[in-house]
Chain A
Amino acid sequence: MSAVLEVSALRTHFFTHAGVIRAVDGADFKVRKGEVMGLVGESGSGKSITGFSILGLIDPPGRIVDGSIRFNGAEIANAPEPELQKLRGNRIAMIFQDPMMTLNPVLRIDTQMIEAILAHEDIPRQVAWERCREALGLVGIPSPEERLRAYPHQLSGGMRQRVAIATAFLNRPDLIIADEPTTALDVTIQAQIIHEAQKLTRQTGTAMIWITHDLAVVAGLADHISVMYAGRIVEQGTTDDVIDRPLHPYTVGLLGSVPSANKRGQRLYQIEGMTPNMLAMPKGCAFAPRCRAATPDCSTAPQITKVDGRRLRCHHPQALGAAT
């Protein structure tokens, strides 16, 4: 099946007074129709900036300096603004961590949702309204007619996130970028949202990029996973491969530090140190200073290699099953 989105060698840099921040410095991935890709990384790894780059939402001093983003075969990296506007909210939609970033606090839900449809399609308002009601029903909102008349502050956090998801799905986009959409929510609400998102991607064939720091969330949701560290995708493969048989020392460390992967009461595997300062990146492999497998040759940047059915950026892939 052809890829909905194909990102290759993407570099998004921020030119600040203090120096150049290489927020994204080599991201390659493909997402096919109906697929969910988990983009995993810690804060500052560049996972959100990757999402913003796809939508052309990078503001100065940042810009995409290199690489290509092909959406349904067409190049959209640094595409002119009118062209991007036709895509945003229509063919590519985004769900943010904080639904209040999507929702305007002074407008009723119906006003905002109908606007999202009428911006891209010339249909009667009543038809658009019907579609909004249907969308709210699909994400499990009880009495959607009533909710459409409400203002965002009258809804709970979980309800707001559902509205944001319903809005994202309104125009049946080909791709949805979800940036930590459940991080601020409670466990039972998170389970509901993941359930709805999964159902909708299956029903509509929409591809999805689920950006998160939580490996456990994508383990149950994604078809394949890309792990990002300091602006680069360091490991990429199917969910089973990455979670059960990680090869990159960083992935091994991340998985090892999740409490449920450890024996109760024992010390957790810990990655020493902290994520590097983006202004003073280590030469070569950015993970080398924290890596147990690091050797002098890690001072040259590892290239992408294909190992055991996945793409890897490491000179010293870990033995299979090292984390288990």
Chain B
Amino acid sequence: MTAPLLEIRGVSKRFTKRLDVAGKIAQRLGSKIREETVHAVDAVDLSIAPGEVLGLVGESGCGKSTLGRVVAGIHGASVGQVLYDGKDIATLSGAEKRAATLAIQMIFQDPFASLNPRMRVEDIIGEAPRVHGLVSTSDTEDYVEEVMGKVGLDPSMKRRYPHQFSGGQRQRIGIARALAVKPRFLVCDEAIAALDVSIQAQVINLFMDLREELGLTYLFISHDLSVVEHIADRVAIMYLGRIVESAPTEELFAAPKHPYTKALLAEAPRLDQRKRDFAPIEGEIPSPLDPPPGCHFNPRCPLARADCRAARPVLHPISPTRSVACHHWTET
């Protein structure tokens, strides 16, 4: 097995809402106000091989975006390490650190919010490579045109502002901005969720072309199973801050092991399904402020028993390629 390009070891990310002065006084006076902590990501291990596309799937609030942001270096991890090329990014310094952070770039969900409306496209794309000395000021213009061509944007539109583009084109600008610093690893956070169906297909195709052309590695975060099934080599399913199952795409879709994965696959609408009667899984994702004890899925799980409420199931390998975090996965 090749060494992973990116490895996440025991990463947790907690967000704490500190008490303000009034809160502290109330606490002194015996009120039950406490600091609230959200465990957005809870002891997650992942590794991604060079050239691999890892799909990270989960519902809203499961922590998938936070994990993506930790990988991209936007949030620091509360606990744990993010290793790029075998080195802990947090301990690097100087040129090494810059190289590592430039190599990991992120593409965001909302093509309207992630571009500065007051900057021209050429500046949005050209700023980072110029600042980091990847191209000289005089070559920037040519370089921007080259990158725009690569993502299927007409270079003659480089002097326009983001509002003059459609949603699909804006997403291409976001992709061009990420590619401009010559990354090796892209974190795509719901990068196609805001686009129309026909435009989604164009952007998915672009991601696949770029992967082939530039040898990119992706962490592809999405709630849409069909997109992930199409593009990813391996899929990790996340529920309330934890990875519950990870497997090669084909195996996961053919035979899901974790009860949550099973429910997700059964309930995602598909074209080949017609009117049918089924009983969808009950309940909703619990609040991450107050997660259930033991296995986070136990209140909604058809297999749940006493041990599920008592102990957290760890993600353990069940075959050379698959792992699952469930006490009763053999019964699914």
Contacts and interface: CB of A to CB of B under 8 A. Distances in A.
Contact of B204 (A195, A220, A255, A268): A268
A188 B280 contact: yes
B271 A243 contact: yes
A181 to B, nearest CB: 13
B107 to A, nearest CB: 18
Contacts of B230: 259-260, 262, 264-265, 268
A198 B275 contact: yes
Contacts of A74: none
Contacts of B59: 186-189
Interface in A253-288: 253-262, 264-265, 267-271, 274-275
A43 B226 CA distance: 21
Contact of B280 (A42, A43, A192): A192
A275 B195 CA distance: 12
Interface string B212-232: 000000000001011101110
A268 B226 contact: no
Interface string B238-258: 000000000001100000000
Contact of A257 (B201, B272, B275, B276): B201
A188 B208 contact: no
Interface stretch (B262-270, B305-313, B322-330): B262-270
B198 interface: yes
Interface string A190-208: 1110110010000000000
B271 A261 contact: yes
A189 B249 CA distance: 24
B60 interface: yes
* Interface residues on chain A, size class: 35 or more
Interface stretch (A15-23, A98-106, A210-218, A312-320): A210-218
B226 A271 contact: no
Contact of A219 (B198, B200, B263, B274): B274
A220 B272 CA distance: 8
Given A156-B284, A215-B271, A42 B226 contact: no
Interface in B122-178: 166, 168
Given A42-B197, A213-B196, A270-B198, A239 B280 contact: no
A138 interface: no
* Interface residues on chain B, size class: 35 or more
A28 to B, nearest CB: 23
A62 interface: no
Given A260-B271, A265-B208, A268-B205, A254 B223 contact: no
A221 interface: yes
A121 to B, nearest CB: 33
A216 B278 CA distance: 16
B116 interface: no
B168 A187 contact: no
B199 interface: yes
A137 interface: no
A240 interface: yes
Interface in A32-50: 42-43
A189 B62 CA distance: 14
Nearest to A254: B197
Residue among B198, B230, B250, B267 with max Cβ neighbours from chain A (10 Å): B198
A158 interface: yes
B285 interface: yes
B89 interface: no
Contacts of A260: 226, 229-230, 270-272
Given A156-B284, A258-B226, A274-B168, A191 B196 contact: no
Nearest to B250: A264
B218 to A, nearest CB: 13
Given A192-B280, A264-B229, A213 B249 contact: no
B273 interface: yes
Contacts of A269: 201
Nearest to A257: B201
A197 to B, nearest CB: 12
B202 interface: yes
A216 B270 contact: yes
Interface string A225-255: 0000000000000011001000000000111
Contacts of A271: 198, 201-202
Contacts of B271: 215-216, 219, 243, 255, 258, 260-261
Nearest to B272: A219
Contacts of B205: 267-268, 270
14 contacts: A187-B59, A188-B281, A216-B273, A220-B274, A240-B274, A243-B271, A257-B200, A257-B201, A258-B271, A259-B204, A259-B227, A260-B226, A260-B270, A267-B209
Interface of B: 59-60, 166, 168, 196-202, 204-205, 208-209, 223, 225-227, 229-231, 249-250, 263-264, 267-276, 278-282, 284-285
9 A-B pairs closest in CB distance = A257-B201, A191-B267, A259-B230, A186-B59, A191-B280, A260-B226, A216-B269, A268-B201, A42-B196
Interface of A: 42-43, 156, 158-159, 186-192, 194-195, 198, 213-217, 219-221, 223, 239-240, 243, 253-262, 264-265, 267-271, 274-275
Given A156-B284, A253-B198, A268-B204, 4 more contacts: A192-B282, A221-B275, A257-B201, A275-B196
